[in-house]
Amino acid sequence: MDDRRLLENGDGIEASVELIRNEFLEGFRRVEQIDRPAVAMFGSARVAEEHPAYEAARAVGRGFAARDWAVVTGGGGGVMEGANRGAKEGGGLSVGFNIELPHEQEPNPYVDISYTFRHFYARKVCFVKPAEGFVIFPGGFGTLDELYESLTLIQTGKVLDFPVVLFDTEYWRPMLDWVRSRLLEDGMISPDDVQLLSATDEPEEAVAHVVDGFERRGVPSPAAPAKEDAQ
């Protein structure tokens, strides 16, 4: 793999740099096609369609579509498929930024804009570039990588007013307890850093938290869900 060769012995540096440059360029071209506010949604590729995380991501994706927001995912299966599927069902814009892996990650069929990356770092930049917030569902190392990268970007001022929502409070509670009991108490983070995260079990609450953050910055959301007529 390109990354492995570059990291182990530096062979083909010029060719690798050119490949990375072209990948960023193609990724940014896809980002430019996103013509509305966007949320990035992450979670495990390993969950089946009947898993609660899949259904929750599908509901959240529909909720963002109802607000005329785009939904950006890693383009694979599991939670990513659920989110893209919900966005399509809601009539919204569905984006998938896939990645080449040794065990091929198949793209899901619910995307309008797609691109397959070879390098994780180029892909992650293209997650952040169009996004006004992240919604993070249960997942493994890849999901944690995206979560902690987003927190680092906010903490260091690389992105501002960027909501991060953890979906499934019970799943994330042990991590949040550790953040408060070790990182905060040991002085590794500040009290304000703890406030960077919110957690919920309600799809509409996840949508509202991200949309409200966007609107507080002075840019009105393009659409709001229609209210039902009073009975």
CA 94/CA 73 separation, integer angstroms: 8
pLDDT per position as a tens digit, 196-212: 999 999 999 999 999 99
Please check whether residue 229 lies inside any domain of the structure: no
Please check whether residue 93 lies inside any domain of the structure: yes
Number of C-beta neighbours around residue 183 at 10 A:
14
- pLDDT at residue 230 in the model: 34
The model's pTM: 0.88
Joined tokens for residue 177: 């307890």
- pLDDT at residue 3 in the model: 59
Please check whether residue 227 lies inside any domain of the structure: no
- pLDDT at residue 165 in the model: 98
Residue ranges for the chain with pLDDT beneath 70: 1-12, 104, 219-231
Please check whether residue 228 lies inside any domain of the structure: no
Joined tokens for residue 42: 């992450």
Q: Look up the domain containing 39 and give its range.
A: 2-216
Please check whether residue 222 lies inside any domain of the structure: no
Nearest in space to 155 (alpha carbons), one of 126, 192, 184: 192
Q: What is the 3-state secondary structure (H, E, C) of 75-98?
A: CCCCHHHHHHHHHHHCCCEEEEEE
Nearest in space to 61 (alpha carbons), one of 96, 97, 31, 90: 90
CA 199/CA 103 separation, integer angstroms: 32
Which H/E stretch holds residue 199?
Answer: strand 197-200
Which value, to the nearest 10 degrees, does the dihedral of the CA atoms of residues 147, 149, 152, 156 take?
Answer: -130
Please check whether residue 37 lies inside any domain of the structure: yes
Please check whether residue 230 lies inside any domain of the structure: no
Burial class of residue 35 (count of CB atoms within 10 Å of its CB; 0-12, 13-18, 19+) = exposed
What's the domain count of the chain? 1
Which value, to the nearest 10 degrees, does the dihedral of the CA atoms of residues 62, 64, 69, 71 take?
Answer: -70
CA 5/CA 21 separation, integer angstroms: 17
Q: What is the CATH number of the domain that holds 67?
A: 3.40.50.450
Please check whether residue 201 lies inside any domain of the structure: yes
Q: What is the 3-state secondary structure (H, E, C) of 159-195?
A: CCCCCEEEECHHHHHHHHHHHHHHHHCCCCCCHHHHC
- pLDDT at residue 221 in the model: 54
